[in-house]
Chain A
Amino acid sequence: MTPGDVADWLGAGSLVAGALLSLAAAIGVLRFPDTLSRMHAATKPQVLGVLLLLLGLGLRLRSPADLGMIVLVGVFQLATAPVAAQMIGRAGYRAGRVDRNLLDADELADR
């Protein structure tokens, strides 16, 4: 096996793993009970999922121009996902879209 073959196989593995994580995230969005819980699924397994997909792409493409773009996508993904999650989470909490029966503690309520 040449190094190129190894990179191809590693890339294929990363792509499949990333796709599976994204699938799990989609199922989580459907199944979790309230908005805040769904935000966990919508933003988190997706972070690792997207990073794995990008890693897989990088291992398959292996050209400097593509790698630069892939690094940028990864950086912006990591920088922006938390902002979106926090904005939606905060809006969801303030709008009361949280199931109190499933909440063990709420230290924001007694602030």
Chain B
Amino acid sequence: MTAPGALPPASADRQTRMGRWRDQLIAYGWLVLAWNLFWGEFTWGNLVGGLLVAAVVLLFFPLPPVTFHGRLRPWGLLVFGGRFVVELVRASAHIARIAVQPGYTPRSAIIAVRLRLPTDLNLALTAEVLSLVPGTLIVEVDRDAGILYVHVLDVRGPADLDAHRAQVREVERRIVEAVGSNAELRRVRTGPVDKESP
């Protein structure tokens, strides 16, 4: 994946069509790569087979276009990946511990968190990351308002709810710092943080 440069706004129509072609090409490349990995080796036969299968897949199962206006930031990606692994390990250990702790019944809560950037991509990525990290589970997504309803396991008091709200926003900020555009980054850094539930 290459980072799209800042194109001049003169020909917006041509730009979106170019962007769609670029997205299709990236998807095509991934599918061919995945096909070769499935077979376990790179041969000419696998390459041709992959090209054919990928073309059929893209032709018959077209995906809705996901607009990606951001750019990849290596440092942000590194920070995001590192923090993700740390949180995955810490939270997995926590859930594993309360699972085997005798006589302990964890309490939980469902909190609503409004994201600062209600774009589809940001919603999807944030929800995905929250779902992978133990202790938080997405129950419902309000796509229009950009609100995630998060089920939190092992709540011990009101302070925990606020801590988890802050954690969700933290995840969002790290995602935008990894793949967001400059304008999105500004919004996340300066946006209102005191908006609680809708």
Indicate if A5 sits at the interface (CB-CB under 8 A). no
B155 to chain A, nearest CB (A): 5
Q: State whether A107 touches B111 (Cβ < 8 A).
A: yes
**Which residues does chain A contribute within 8 Å of B137, judged by CB atoms?**
36, 39-40, 43, 85-86, 89
**Which residues does chain B contribute within 8 Å of A48, judged by CB atoms?**
88-89, 92, 134
Q: Which residues of A contact B (CB under 8 A)?
A: 20-21, 24-25, 27-28, 31-33, 36-37, 39-41, 43-45, 47-49, 64-66, 68-69, 71-72, 78-79, 81-82, 85-86, 89-90, 93, 102-109, 111
Indicate if B138 sits at the interface (CB-CB under 8 A). yes
Q: State whether B131 touches A45 (Cβ < 8 A).
A: no
Q: State whether B96 touches A45 (Cβ < 8 A).
A: yes
Q: Which residues of B contact A (CB under 8 A)?
A: 34, 36-38, 40-41, 88-89, 91-92, 95-96, 98-100, 105-112, 127-128, 131-135, 137-142, 149, 151, 153, 155, 157-158, 161, 197-198
**Which residues does chain B contribute within 8 Å of A108, judged by CB atoms?**
110, 112, 139-140, 149
Main secondary structure of the interface of A (DSSP, over half): helix
Given contacts A107-B197, A111-B198, contact A47 B132 (CB under 8 A): yes
Q: State whether B96 touches A28 (Cβ < 8 A).
A: yes
| Residue contacts A-B, CB under 8 angstroms, 28 given | A24-B95, A27-B100, A28-B98, A36-B151, A37-B153, A43-B131, A44-B132, A45-B99, A45-B134, A47-B132, A49-B92, A69-B40, A72-B34, A82-B127, A82-B131, A85-B131, A86-B131, A89-B139, A93-B139, A102-B108, A103-B107, A103-B108, A104-B161, A107-B149, A107-B197, A109-B110, A111-B142, A111-B198
